[in-house]
Amino acid sequence: MAAFDYVALDGRGKQTKGVLEGDSQRQVRQHLRDKGLVPLSVEMAAKAAGHASVKKFSFGFGQAISARDLALLTRQMATLVQAGLPIGEVLTAVAQQTEKPRIQSMMMAVRSKVLEGYTLADSLAEYPRAFPGLYRATVSAGEHSGHLDLVLNRLADYTESSKETKQKIQGAMVYPAFLVVFSIAIVSLLMIKVVPNVVEVFSGTGQALPGITQALIATSGFFVNWWWLVLLLLAGVVMGLNALLQQPAIELSWHKKILVLPMFGKLSRNINTSRFASTLSILTSSGVPLVEAMRIAGEVMANRWLQTRVREATQKVSEGASLKNALQHAGYFPPMMLHMIASGESSGELDTMLSRVATSQEQDLQSFIGIVVSILPPILLVVMAGLVLMIVLAILLPIIQMNNLIT
């Protein structure tokens, strides 16, 4: 039986939506009529959700469902599987629990695939934007090992941890972003409103103005008369850079340069190596072979240059090299991480050590983010103060010169 999304009218003429299972659209329509509803549309859930995913992807938004919803779904499935319910009943219960029609439709479609004989991992593959490769590979490993409940719990922990880290980064950047916007607004106000009024005062004096004042007047005049051109140029630059970064060679070169930038390079390395360590830990501890786990963990990294280096390291491991030597040759991975991995390989407890590595990398990332966030506001304040000081000096210097001439 397949899952179908329906839209129907009840006896009062109110529109209702939901998901029903049936062998065909005709059967679902008849079932709706038997319930006293007038069917308006009946569509296969997999098709509808697939269209939503494509639309989501085409506009560049993230996953088809949020990290919070994914963590909640995973935790619910883990609890029900641990209670001994068949996977079909688990998916039905999870679909009924959610209040979001799109997620309900998706889970019912996954259930239909499972009832057709597909594994849970293969059924989830119908929605790659909602359930990424890491998620599906881990679920597959849990199914094959017979420990699906433990694996799902671990996946829920990982998803929740990733969500919390992202929220911390976003929350920490609110104040610096506010300072940037406030600084731009203040400087723009001074250049467009204050400076032109001051220019009128000096224009009738006939005296030679200081260079900084002349530069300020010229800049102010440009912004007043050509502000729309500035906006167009900024938009053009953004669109042009975006188009350039769509080219693989240019994107790869740019991502390589990011890794050596002051402060931001270290932040990028910490974020990517932390993500790699966490993903590799959860995959290997779930029974995924090391080479396959490295391949998936490499794809999770956001930096394309690091992805290529990890792919090379994966190839070396598949040829018999140790994980520590392969990652050391790849570069960019911190020495502490490499030493801990070497210790795990020599002791035969690589899974345990990878878990510790993931925890250590996460702590280092949080610490570095805290340092960066504490440094950014003072830097932005100094830059803002410097711009305002230049504008004030440009206005005061002619006044001081006039006073000197009078005395």
DSSP state of 193: I
The rounded distance, in Å, linking the Cα atoms of 279 and 162 is 10
Q: Residue 321 in contact with residue 341, Cβ under 8 Å?
A: no
Q: According to the model, what pLDDT value does residue 218 have? A: 79
What are the Cα distances from residue 53, in Å, to 48, 65, 156, 293? Answer: 9, 9, 22, 26
Q: In the chain, which residues have pLDDT < 70? A: 1-3, 11, 13, 18-24, 40, 44-64, 145, 199-207, 402-407
The rounded distance, in Å, linking the Cα atoms of 319 and 326 is 10
Strand partners, 17: 7
Q: Which of 241, 262, 351, 248 is nearest to 308 (CA)?
A: 248
Q: According to the model, what pLDDT value does residue 22 have? A: 65
Q: Where are the alpha helices (DSSP H) in 286-349?
A: 290-300, 304-318, 323-330, 335-347
Strand partners, 3: 21
Angle between helix axes 264-285 and 148-172 (nearest 10 degrees) is 170
Interacting residues of 186 by C-beta distance below 8 A, sequence separation 6+:
384, 388
Q: According to the model, what pLDDT value does residue 45 have? A: 61
What are the Cα distances from residue 133, in Å, to 38, 127, 382? Answer: 40, 10, 45
Q: According to the model, what pLDDT value does residue 315 have? A: 93
DSSP state of 94: H
The tens digit of pLDDT for each residue in 138-196 reads 788 778 767 788 788 878 887 787 777 777 777 777 877 888 888 788 877 777 777 77
Interacting residues of 331 by C-beta distance below 8 A, sequence separation 6+:
309
Q: According to the model, what pLDDT value does residue 406 have? A: 59
- Sign of the alpha-carbon torsion through 338, 340, 342, 348: negative
The rounded distance, in Å, linking the Cα atoms of 70 and 136 is 12
Query: What is the phi/psi pair of residue 120, to 5°?
Result: -60, -40
Q: According to the model, what pLDDT value does residue 399 have? A: 75
Q: What global pTM score does this model have?
A: 0.61
